[in-house]
Structure formats: structure tokens, C-alpha cells
Amino acid sequence: MALLLSARQLITPLQTIDDGAILIEDGTITAVGRRAELTIPGSTRVFNFGDAILAPGLIDIHIHGGAGHDVMEGSDESLAAVERLMTRHGVTSYCPTTVTAPLDATLRSLDALGKAVASADKRDGTRARPLGIHFEGPFLSHAKRGVHPPALLEKGSLELFDRMWQAADGRVSVLTIAPEIEGALDLIAEAARRGVCVSLGHSDAELPAAQAGILAGARHATHTFNAMRALDHRDPGVLGAILTSSEVTADIIVDGIHVNPVIVDLFVKAKGLDRAVLITDAMSATGMPDGTYLLGGFEVQVKNGRCESGGRLAGSVLTLDRAVRNTAEFAKISVRHAIRLATLNPARVLGIEKRKGTLSVGADADVVVFTPTGEVVRTIVGGIVN
């Protein structure tokens, strides 16, 4: 049966349509436009959301967990808890993100996560769907490792990457790597050849090393400003390369803790509305009370929204709808533009913009219903209205 969703405003997100509507059949969008202009089959179920906003489902390409669970647990029970929390906050698709851990544990997690990605379309409408795995570690800089265990960090090893790739059955979307570590450039080139989005992160690289990483195939940046060599007017480093390269997209954690609101404004101005991406870097404590939680295999203390391990920031309890609202406020942009940073832009990073991150004919029917101020009213995954 066809579905029609309508609201006062529809954000595609490249344009805004007043009194907009979308027609959905078999989980796919078949028509988009002003409701008065659409031809609606007689048997169509109609959902009118009144004064609300229809927008594409949000996409989080960097998330470790939530609802008391870490994605590296890998079980369907743990992933279901995380995915249901995400849909309550408008996320319909995501990249489960690993942290540096012992190899055996990592390979077990990757096997489970690869299977989860393979069966993503079998989920019901209450659960966000995994798109592909994000490897955050172990190919990181010791100097900018954050809370990643130093004894488990590795040089850029093609052999190790391939073992991880095989464990995940090739269902890998993003690789975060420091371009200055030994073997990094060869690994960047090989990962890019396999269709992985290679992202510069956890890096103490000077400008030439960062530029070499981009030349080798890196085209994104992980939680920009955090776990990176600081920007200096005589030593621009990796941030200088990221902020000025038109070939590089970049993501940022907009929780008001990881970066100052002024820096969010600077970031959006530098990367523009087409290259800036919002992430959460959320951990198992998201949606939970203050306390001690696990991130991968180590403990993190959470208090008043701040996550720390050994005195260092360790992930966040941010939700992506909150990141959208914060970005609109901090960068002084419209909610529509902020929504783009969490929908179309991450979809483009992953190369799936024709089916995700957009309300357009032929795209998957992943839809969020927002209030005019950006609060989530309902999330629809794969055209399933619960």
C-alpha cells in the first residue's frame, strides 16, 4: 500500500517546499512536491503532520554506542538497543564505529558487525540501519591517540588492514588514519582503491604529511580539531590542510564541549555547507544517567554530559538531532542548512547520496518529522510507519 506523508514544510535538503508531501511505495520515494500537485492513488494511507517539517533521515557516520551498549559487543540485542535510541533522535542510518582493542576482540566484533550490515534491510522500522563499519584505530598517532590504548596502536599495515577487512566481509565504509605514521600512505591508497572513505584523524601531522595523505587518497577528516595537532599561523599542520582543501570533507562534534561554539562557526565557514558533516562520536552512556560506562574495552566516567577516561575526553553523549540544533545556533545558519550537514553531506561522504540523505524520487523512504525548532516528532525507516 502506498503512503503519503505531508507537512507544512518539506526539506529535501537542497530546497524547501511549502505544503510539501512525499509518496512512498515499497520503501522507496516515488513522488515529491507540493501536496496539491501530487497524484495520490485511492488506496493510499495518508499521514498529515500539520505544522511540522519533513526531512531526510539523519546519518551518523561515527558512533560507538548508546543505551548502555557498545557496538563492539556485536550482538543483535546490543545493536537493537543502540539503533532504537538513534531512531528516537532522528537517525535512520549509521556507521558502527570501532575503537582500538586487542586484535582477537576486534576481529570478533568486525565479524558480527559485518553480518549486521549484511542484514540491515531486515530490521523493523524502530531500528536505524547500519551502512558499513568505521574503523577508528588502530592506525593512529601516539601523540594524538586520545584514549586509544597506546600499546595497541599499529603502523599502517596492509596485512592487518586486510585481516580486518576480511573479518568484516568487506563491509567497511570509513577508515580513520594518521597520515604521518609509518606505512600510512600505502594503506590510504589501498583502502581508497577498495572504495573506503579514508579520513584523516588522531593525527599530529605537519602540513606536508597531511597533504601527502590527501594526495594518496584521503578525502575526509575525523572529529576535526579533536585529537589533532593544533592550528598555528606558522605551523598549520593537519588542520591547515583540512580546512583549506576543497577535496576534503570534514566532520565535527557539536556538543558545546568538544569545540567552542565560535570554532563551530569558523568550521562551517571554512568548509561550507557542502563539505561540513555532523557526527556524535556517541558512546554507550548516551541516553543513560551519569556514571561509569565502557567504550570498547576501557572505562569512561560520564558527568554532566562530559565523558572522560584518565582525564581525557572519550566520546560523547551527544545525539544527532541535538547536534543539528546546536549547529544552527552556533554557526548562525538555518535549521534547513544544519539538517543538510547531517543528511546529504554524510551520504555524499559515503557515496550513497542517490538513495540516502535526500527526499527525492528513487531514494529510500527514510524520513524524520521535526517540529519547526528541530525537535524530533517521528522517525520513519524504510517507509515503515509505526
pTM of the model: 0.97
Residue 310 has pLDDT above 90, yes or no: no
Q: Are 385 and 3 in contact (CB under 8 A)?
A: yes
Residue matched to cell numbers 534547513: 336
* Grid cell digits, residue 250: 570534514
- Whether 127 and 29 map to the same domain: the answer is no
Q: Classify residue 43 by burial, with Cβ atoms within 10 Å: 0-12, 13-18, 19+.
A: exposed
What pLDDT was estimated at residue 297? 81
DSSP string, 205-232: --HHHHHHHHHHT--EESSTTTTBPPP-
Q: Read off the pLDDT band of 1 (50, 70, 90).
A: confident
Rg (the chain; Cα; Å) = 20
CB atoms within 10 A of CB 41: 11
- Whether 376 and 278 map to the same domain: the answer is no
Q: Are 53 and 371 in contact (CB under 8 A)?
A: yes
Give the separation between CA 73 and CA 88, rounded to whole angstroms. Answer: 21
Pairing, β 53-56 against β 45-48: unpaired
To the nearest 10°, report the CA torsion of 369, 375, 377, 380: 50
Give the separation between CA 186 and CA 119, rounded to whole angstroms. Answer: 32
pLDDT in tens, 60-112: 999 999 999 999 999 999 999 999 999 999 999 999 999 999 999 999 999 99
CB atoms within 10 A of CB 360: 16
Q: Are 211 and 171 in contact (CB under 8 A)?
A: no
Tell me whether residue 234 is in a domain: yes
- Whether 226 and 271 map to the same domain: the answer is yes
- Whether 70 and 16 map to the same domain: the answer is no
What pLDDT was estimated at residue 42? 86
Q: Are 284 and 68 in contact (CB under 8 A)?
A: yes
Q: Read off the pLDDT band of 176 (50, 70, 90).
A: very high
pLDDT in tens, 20-64: 999 999 999 999 999 999 999 889 999 999 999 999 999 999 999
Q: Read off the pLDDT band of 259 (50, 70, 90).
A: very high
- Three-state DSSP at 135 gives strand
Q: What's the mean pLDDT when you consider all of the chain?
A: 97
Lowest average pLDDT, out of 151-160, 288-297, 338-347, 370-379, goes to 288-297
Residue matched to cell numbers 570501532: 98
Tell me whether residue 362 is in a domain: no
What pLDDT was estimated at residue 144? 98
CATH code of the domain covering residue 233: 3.20.20.140
Tell me whether residue 264 is in a domain: yes
Percent of the chain with pLDDT over 70: 100
- Whether 293 and 227 map to the same domain: the answer is yes
pLDDT in tens, 201-214: 999 999 999 999 99
Residue 386 has pLDDT above 80, yes or no: no
* Grid cell digits, residue 367: 524520513
- Whether 44 and 109 map to the same domain: the answer is no
Half-sphere exposure of 67 (CA within 13 A, CB side): 16
Average pLDDT over residues 188-205: 98
CATH code of the domain covering residue 42: 2.30.40.10
Give the separation between CA 117 and CA 131, rounded to whole angstroms. Answer: 6
| Positions marked active-site | 281
| Angle value at C-alpha 344, between 75 and 279, nearest 5 degrees | 50
Percent of the chain with pLDDT over 90: 95
Average pLDDT over residues 214-238: 98
- Whether 26 and 117 map to the same domain: the answer is no
- Three-state DSSP at 344 gives helix
Tell me whether residue 365 is in a domain: no
CB atoms within 10 A of CB 143: 13
Residue 328 has pLDDT above 80, yes or no: yes
Tell me whether residue 216 is in a domain: yes
- Whether 171 and 292 map to the same domain: the answer is yes
Strands (E) across 12-50 are located at 16-25, 28-34, 45-48
CB atoms within 10 A of CB 5: 27
Count of domains forming the chain: 2
Tell me whether residue 363 is in a domain: no
What pLDDT was estimated at residue 313? 92
What pLDDT was estimated at residue 377? 96
Tell me whether residue 333 is in a domain: yes
- Whether 20 and 148 map to the same domain: the answer is no
- Whether 145 and 195 map to the same domain: the answer is yes
- Whether 43 and 67 map to the same domain: the answer is no
Tell me whether residue 80 is in a domain: yes
pLDDT in tens, 342-385: 999 999 999 999 999 999 999 999 999 999 999 999 999 999 98
What range does the domain containing 82 cover? 58-356
- Whether 234 and 124 map to the same domain: the answer is yes
Residue 182 has pLDDT above 90, yes or no: yes
What pLDDT was estimated at residue 227? 98
